[in-house]
Amino acid sequence: MIAGRGRQRIRPPRRSVAGDDVDFEQTWTKISAAFTEIHTKNASRLSYEELYRLAYRVVLKKKGDELYKRVRQFEHNWLSTEVRSAIQALFSPNLLANTQGLGGTTANERRVAGERFLKGLKQAWTDHQVCMSMLADVLMYMDRVYCQDVRRLSIYTTAMLLFRDDILNSNTSEIDSRVVLALLNTVILDQIQMERDGDVIDKHLIKSCVYMLESLYDDEMESEDQRLYNVSFEHEFLATSSEFYRHESEFLLRDSDAGAYCKHASRRIYEEDERCRSTLAESTMPKIRKVVEDELIKNRIHELVEMESGVRFMIDNDRLDELNLIYDLNARVDDRKTELTRAIQKRIVDMGTDINNAAIAASQATPAAPAPEAGDKAKGPNQEKSLNQQTVAAIKWVEDVLQLKDKFDHIWKDSFQSDHSLQTAVTRSFADFINSPTFPRSSEYISLFIDENMKKGIKGKTEMEVDAVLDKAIILLRYVQDKDLFERYYKKHLCRRLLMNKSVSNEVEKQMISKMKIELGNNFTLKLEAMFKDMTISEELTSGFKKHVEGLGDKDPKRIELGINVLTSMTWPLESMGSGDDDENKRPKCNFPMALDRIKRGFEKYYNEKHSGRQLTWLANMGSADIKAVFPKVAQKDGSFKERRHDLNVSTYGMIILLLFNELPADQYMTFEEIHAQTNIPRNDLMRNLQSLAVAPKTRILIKEPMTKDVKSTDKFYFNEGFNGKFVKIRVGVVSTGNKVESDRERRETEKKNDDSRGFCIEAAVVRIMKQRKELAHQQLVLETLNQLAAQFKPEVTMIKKRIESLIEREYLERIEGARVDSYRYLA
């Protein structure tokens, strides 16, 4: 710059410039000759020291750049001449024809041609890797010094990229513009398709080619998703697989049943997983799985579930394995298993509704069923019979539901891997049909079922079996929404069992109560437990009174023994024990015969000494009596002529009626009206008692005139002197003493009572809430009320509204004037 600007450039003195140049060319000649030897697999004659020294010297002389370029050029030449022609020699006409989609080749021919190509390519790749690692060893100093300093890719990496560019991305031939890589993809995909069709292929060979694609990258960044495998092969693999499985699923849905489809689908999923492991790359596994799941399951699950041989068929035929498969498939694509859940729920509700309908049909069909032979019989027994049938239907309903529950429990455990969400769904469906508005009887039926089992069902059963039965009942109870209605029925049924000594085991009764306590809480069983308590106290009272009477004086052989049950009126559903005709307030007071009246007063005195201030009301309609009866010697039909003694077990009313005839000569009669006048037994009860004493053939202790089924107020009654029973002990049953399904009228009453008590519950809840909150919006009040009562029943919103209205009228609450939303204020 100082001297002669622009005229002459001063070049830095380079020492022995010419000498170095000559040196490099000579060196390169030696190196390149050695590289050729390496590529032709003659390396064992070469000295590593010599080659390394040559390269080392060149780099020290700052010719690294030149050396790098020459090596790259050398490899480029080698690949695009020697290697490429070797690869092109592998393209048989078969191979090219196939990949162009031309027919006319058999699978076997294609497989052989494909394998030859894969083998050749794999060989070329392996050779290239081996040679390049040797070259890289020789050029190690260059890699370390030159490539690192100027941030070049290592010579090995560069050479791998050359393989990509000069071999994989080269045209298959001069006339064919497709590149080798595309051909490779097609061949591998073709092989995979062959395997899917059942052929055996060389997995190992394909795997080596996949390794090649995995170690080459499309760009220079070498990021994972830029591997040739991902960029080129995997993409095509997923696309063709998607296509393939779309067709396959279409075909399968058309030509096979759901079970076979499921088996096939899970086999395919397994196969593809295996393929990724053995033939392709594990990284593809989730992707191909998604493809298969989408095509075979997600897009088809609805059709599959709804098929004729679908979920419904599997349930009905207990195809547990297939259900398990379908569960597994559905779970793969949908955490919530929507389709399966929907199908299961629908099936449960359908089957449950069938059971409901069958129960309704059974209970309605009965009046017609007992057939014409009952034609001349009175209406009473007919109705009784129908009620009996209904009871049977009720018990059948419970058993059917339990069976259904068992079935689905079984499926749930064996096929659905005890899946939590499905359990919830199953439970909801059971609750759905059990609480169906078209079937309001479940509470009653369940209580009846328990009743039946308490009375006879558990006889001769082991503790375990009894436990199982009780548990079943509890399970059903769990589904019932209106727990209060159930409580009402249970109380009623329990009441009868206790008072009439129908229960087989007190122990089991108590067990049941404690089970309910666990299931439904303390509140629920409080009153039931009080009933048991009353019973215990009554036993004590009875024995105490007996002792008291014995202490009074001489033993009177004619003394009447009194067994008494003192029932707390709030606890016991006494109204349901009555015949239902009478107004609750004027409980029937019948006239007791003198002997009875005395003992009655005796007990009242005894009881008042113990508990003063309590009022006892005698419920004659619920008692029973044992009477020793003597029938005089009159001629029998069979000609015998002797006195007969019977122990009669009759209702209290029956006893009162019979006692009337004690004082009446045998040939005299009493009319219905007379009996009614003397006893003051309610007409209805009287009619029924007379019916069992005078109409039922086996217990015809009275004779009625005229002999008809019905008891009319004009009928006359005589004592049947000629009565002859087959047994000494005779039980005179009064109709409708057992627990049976309610008649429609009774049910309406029960429901009305239930609604009334619900009304109180709702009011109590509302007041509790308002007392705490002072002011609350309508919507929220309703919501909280529903929450509070959820354990007992689900009240209707209109009912809540009515109760709120009523509370406002009675000035417990007031509306807040001018509030933005309807709100109430609590008035203390």
Partner 1 sequence: MSTMPLISEAARDCIISIEVGPDKVKYSVYKSVLMHYSKYFHNSLGGSWKEAANNMIQITDIDPSIFNIFVNWLYRQALPVSLEDWVITAELTKLSSNLLPTQLCNMLKMKTYVFADRFQVPALRKALQREIASPNIDCAPSFDMIIYAFENLREGDPILLFLVDSTCMFWNPFQSSNEEKAMLSRLPHDYLAMAFTRYGRLVMTQWGNAPRKLGDVCQYHEHESVDEKQACERAQQGSQTALVLTNTGWHVCS
| Binding interface with partner 1 (CB under 8 A) | 12-13, 15, 43-49, 52-53, 56, 59-60, 62, 134, 137-138, 140-141, 144-145, 149
Give whichever of 145 and 392 is closer to partner 1, judged by the CB atom. 145
Of 199, 203, 293, the closest CA to residue 241 belongs to: 293
- What is the C-alpha separation between 160 and 717, in angstroms, rounded? 120
- What is the C-alpha separation between 147 and 134, in angstroms, rounded? 17
Give whichever of 53 and 773 is closer to partner 1, judged by the CB atom. 53
- Taking a C-beta distance cutoff of 8 angstroms, is the pair 511, 470 a contact? yes
Give whichever of 139 and 359 is closer to partner 1, judged by the CB atom. 139
CA distances from 304 to 125, 241, 314, 327, 822 (A): 47, 20, 12, 12, 50
- Taking a C-beta distance cutoff of 8 angstroms, is the pair 732, 652 a contact? no
User: Rounded to the nearest whole angstrom, what is the least distance from the CB of residue 43 to partner 1 in the complex?
Assistant: 5
- What is the C-alpha separation between 240 and 325, in angstroms, rounded? 26
Torsion angle defined by CA atoms of residues 411, 416, 417 and 419, in that order, rounded to the nearest 10 degrees:
-110
Give whichever of 27 and 621 is closer to partner 1, judged by the CB atom. 27
Beta-bridge partner residues of 775: 825
Number of H helices, E strands in the chain: 33, 9
CA distances from 109 to 91, 121, 184, 194 (A): 13, 18, 17, 12
Give whichever of 145 and 735 is closer to partner 1, judged by the CB atom. 145
- Geometric angle at alpha carbon 748, from 747 and 751, rounded to 5°: 85
User: Rounded to the nearest whole angstrom, what is the least distance from the CB of residue 151 to partner 1 in the complex?
Assistant: 13
Question: What tokens does 123 get?
Answer: 């060989």
SS3 of 293, please? helix
SS3 of 775, please? strand
Give whichever of 43 and 560 is closer to partner 1, judged by the CB atom. 43
User: Rounded to the nearest whole angstrom, what is the least distance from the CB of residue 105 to partner 1 in the complex?
Assistant: 41
Question: Exposure pattern of 94-107 as b/e (b: 16+ CB <10 Å)?
Answer: bbbbbbeeeeebee
User: Rounded to the nearest whole angstrom, what is the least distance from the CB of residue 76 to partner 1 in the complex?
Assistant: 24
- Taking a C-beta distance cutoff of 8 angstroms, is the pair 646, 629 a contact? yes
- Taking a C-beta distance cutoff of 8 angstroms, is the pair 115, 202 a contact? yes
Give kind and range of the element (H or E) at residue 159: helix 155-163
CA distances from 122 to 83, 118, 214, 397 (A): 12, 6, 13, 72
Give whichever of 41 and 204 is closer to partner 1, judged by the CB atom. 41
- Taking a C-beta distance cutoff of 8 angstroms, is the pair 142, 64 a contact? yes
- What is the C-alpha separation between 315 and 311, in angstroms, rounded? 6
Give whichever of 128 and 312 is closer to partner 1, judged by the CB atom. 128
SS3 of 287, please? helix
User: Rounded to the nearest whole angstrom, what is the least distance from the CB of residue 79 to partner 1 in the complex?
Assistant: 21
User: Rounded to the nearest whole angstrom, what is the least distance from the CB of residue 11 to partner 1 in the complex?
Assistant: 12
User: Rounded to the nearest whole angstrom, what is the least distance from the CB of residue 159 to partner 1 in the complex?
Assistant: 16
Give whichever of 13 and 372 is closer to partner 1, judged by the CB atom. 13
Give whichever of 148 and 772 is closer to partner 1, judged by the CB atom. 148
CB atoms within 10 A of CB 44: 6
User: Rounded to the nearest whole angstrom, what is the least distance from the CB of residue 87 to partner 1 in the complex?
Assistant: 25
User: Rounded to the nearest whole angstrom, what is the least distance from the CB of residue 269 to partner 1 in the complex?
Assistant: 44
Give whichever of 159 and 469 is closer to partner 1, judged by the CB atom. 159
- What is the C-alpha separation between 258 and 322, in angstroms, rounded? 8
- What is the C-alpha separation between 544 and 736, in angstroms, rounded? 32
Give whichever of 2 and 828 is closer to partner 1, judged by the CB atom. 2
User: Rounded to the nearest whole angstrom, what is the least distance from the CB of residue 212 to partner 1 in the complex?
Assistant: 22
Give whichever of 50 and 465 is closer to partner 1, judged by the CB atom. 50
User: Rounded to the nearest whole angstrom, what is the least distance from the CB of residue 336 to partner 1 in the complex?
Assistant: 53
**Beta-strand (E) ranges in 706-743?**
716-719, 729-731
User: Rounded to the nearest whole angstrom, what is the least distance from the CB of residue 59 to partner 1 in the complex?
Assistant: 7
Give whichever of 15 and 586 is closer to partner 1, judged by the CB atom. 15
Give whichever of 56 and 718 is closer to partner 1, judged by the CB atom. 56
Based on the number of CB atoms within 10 Å of its own CB, is 215 exposed (0-12), middle (13-18) or buried (19 or more)? middle
Give whichever of 141 and 416 is closer to partner 1, judged by the CB atom. 141
Give whichever of 150 and 518 is closer to partner 1, judged by the CB atom. 150
CB atoms within 10 A of CB 156: 17
User: Rounded to the nearest whole angstrom, what is the least distance from the CB of residue 62 to partner 1 in the complex?
Assistant: 7
CA distances from 543 to 277, 339, 562, 564 (A): 85, 66, 9, 9
User: Rounded to the nearest whole angstrom, what is the least distance from the CB of residue 47 to partner 1 in the complex?
Assistant: 5
**DSSP per residue, 655-711:** HHHHHHHHTS-TT--EEHHHHHHHH---HHHHHHHHHHHHTSGGG--EEEES--SS-
CA atoms within a 13 Å half-sphere pointing along the CA-CB vector of 775:
7
CA atoms within a 13 Å half-sphere pointing along the CA-CB vector of 97:
13
- What is the C-alpha separation between 77 and 74, in angstroms, rounded? 5
User: Rounded to the nearest whole angstrom, what is the least distance from the CB of residue 204 to partner 1 in the complex?
Assistant: 25
Give whichever of 7 and 45 is closer to partner 1, judged by the CB atom. 45
Give kind and range of the element (H or E) at residue 211: helix 203-215
User: Rounded to the nearest whole angstrom, what is the least distance from the CB of residue 158 to partner 1 in the complex?
Assistant: 19
CA atoms within a 13 Å half-sphere pointing along the CA-CB vector of 241:
29
User: Rounded to the nearest whole angstrom, what is the least distance from the CB of residue 248 to partner 1 in the complex?
Assistant: 50
User: Rounded to the nearest whole angstrom, what is the least distance from the CB of residue 143 to partner 1 in the complex?
Assistant: 10
Q: Is 62 left (phi over 0), alpha (psi -120 to 50) or beta?
A: left
